[in-house]
Structure 1
Amino acid sequence: MKQATRLTLISRRYCHLCQDMEVALAGLAEELAFEIEVLDVDADAALEQRYDELVPVLLHNGHELCHYFLEVSKVRDYLSKIG
């Protein structure tokens, strides 16, 4: 049985762009059958150093898919290539 693809959202609590991307990802995750892991950039010094002003950032295995806004077509294309 194939394990579900897991995308990682680097986020922060008081960021409206982060909240918007998380909501948009939830609907897309249901449609495309992937899981979302949300990591708080402020809870990890290494993440904060790397992504501080770029959040929200969507990653798959360290590969940046998009930041600031969800690029649905880019995520769809990427998932179809790895799927």
Structure 2
Amino acid sequence: PDTVTYNELIDGFVKSGDFNNAFQILSSMMPDPNSASWNTILTGYVNSEQSREATAFFTKMHSSGVRFDEYSLSIVLAAIAA
């Protein structure tokens, strides 16, 4: 599968509230996650009102060397504001 397919799987798990499986795909199954992959999980945390988890995940994203984008920053700012 390609990155788009993996991102769709991640999105499905996030929408069902299954962040563990979403992160498992991101960290072990996906060969080259991009910022959209990470942003999908980050958005899920914010949408489910898990601000603490969102900010911790953003920190993990940054420490993993992922180049975050403007969208990533807007998501984490929404988490902080919540």
TM-score by length of 2: 0.29
Identify, as 1 or 2, the structure richer in helix.
2
- Specify the structure having the higher radius of gyration (Cα): 1
Identify, as 1 or 2, the structure richer in strand.
1
